[in-house]
Copies of this chain bind each other. A is one copy, B any other.
Amino acid sequence: MNRKKKTTITDIARKLNTTPSTVSRALADHHRISDEMKKAVWEMVEKMNYQPNSIASALRKGKSNIIGVIVPTSDRQFFASFIRGIEEIVRDEGYHLMICQSDDQYKKEKSSIDTLLNIRVDGIIASVAKETSDISHFQKVKNLGVPLVLYDRVIESLDVNMVISDDYLGAYQGVVHLIEQGCRRIAHFAGKQHIHIYQNRLKGYLQALEDHNLDVDEELIIESDLIQNTYRIVQTGYQMGKKLMKLPQPPDGLFSSSDFAAIGAIGYFKESGIAIPDEIALVGYSNDFSASVIEPGRTSLDQHTIRMGNLAAEQFLKQARTKPEKFLSQKTLLTPELIVRESSLKKVAEKPSP
């Protein structure tokens, strides 16, 4: 309809018989501008319904007030709350978020970074796609001096800010819990080992066994792709659960690196009349919403994703305020919290030993 020309500070200046510079300074609350002038400007701003053109501002200042966030996929609760965590922190600082999905594809990740760089974002917060092995695009961000924070799936070799969940410790806690519940043959659904988080979870699992003098049985460790369509992971979990229970010596405990694989396994156990947790106790990972509503309630590791977002945002802010030459990268480890539910709570464990 009436695609009006938007009012600019020049328009305002004209009306007030002054110059754009003064208006600009008045709006920025510059100390060298008189209170009357400021008042007059603000009145005119209201009257003419002025909306600052942040594009022009960004061009001049060389800063867009936008933070680029790259998520592998926003389908997971994890990323949704992580983003929320970032927003909580940066909103008051006047930053806004531009969210890109890499869909775990290297190509999309690279092109997202290019786009973000093109619009001159003030920083990038990213989790690395599962496909990615060439990291030159991240290197480029760093070389350009654009603040970069990696989270969750990171590249250890890159000297940048990182905020990650302590997957090793999480896994360790989960497995120790199973051991304390009386499990002696604990299986593990592992993720692809070129991804750090899954590597660390496996390590935590192994360490927990070792610390309790339990043997490691390779048969009980099943590796699969835990980063893909949720429904497929559930199916895979079902199959893996089946495979485990068909073993000559089936396990009595299961630590799954994915909540969704755990769901699949639970599905199989229930279907086959295998009692949870009595015949097999189970711990998942991520504390997905479903953990509390699927029976039996699923013990899982909460990663405090909102807090993770908070921290990532804070690291960004810190770096943005630091001169590049003074900057030191920082790695924050968040401890996951074991949320115990019925899937791992053996009633027998309450009995005093005879």
0/1 string, A1-29, CB within 8 A of B gives 1: 11110100000000000000000000000
Q: What total of chain A residues lie within 8 Å of the partner, measured CB to CB?
A: 54
B293 near A119: Cβ-Cβ < 8 Å: no
Q: How far is the CA of A290 from the CA of B289 in the complex (A)?
A: 9
The segment out of A47-55, A212-220, A247-255 that lies at the interface is A47-55
Which residues of chain B have C-beta atoms less than 8 A from A59's C-beta? 53, 55-56, 59
Within the complex, the shortest CB–CB distance from A233 to chain B, in Å, comes to 11
B75 near A101: Cβ-Cβ < 8 Å: no
Assuming A59-B56, A74-B83, A100-B96, is B290 touching A324 (CB within 8 A)?
no
The segment out of A34-42, A140-148, A168-176, A337-345 that lies at the interface is A140-148
Which residues of chain B have C-beta atoms less than 8 A from A97's C-beta? 98-100
B1 near A325: Cβ-Cβ < 8 Å: yes
| Contact of A228 with B by CB under 8 A | no
Q: How far is the CA of A293 from the CA of B267 in the complex (A)?
A: 8
A-B CB proximity, top 6 nearest: A3-B145, A54-B118, A74-B80, A99-B99, A55-B59, A75-B80
Within the complex, the shortest CB–CB distance from A72 to chain B, in Å, comes to 12
A51 near B290: Cβ-Cβ < 8 Å: no
CB-contacts of A72-93 with B (<8 A): 73-75, 77, 80-81, 83-84, 87
| Contact of A192 with B by CB under 8 A | no
Assuming A54-B119, A117-B51, is B293 touching A234 (CB within 8 A)?
yes
0/1 string, A170-195, CB within 8 A of B gives 1: 00000000000000000000000000
0/1 string, A190-234, CB within 8 A of B gives 1: 000000000000000000000000000000000000000011001
A115 near B144: Cβ-Cβ < 8 Å: no
B294 near A293: Cβ-Cβ < 8 Å: yes
| Contact of A292 with B by CB under 8 A | yes
Q: How far is the CA of A117 from the CA of B96 in the complex (A)?
A: 13
| Contact of A302 with B by CB under 8 A | no
Which residues of chain B have C-beta atoms less than 8 A from A270's C-beta? 295
| Contact of A320 with B by CB under 8 A | no
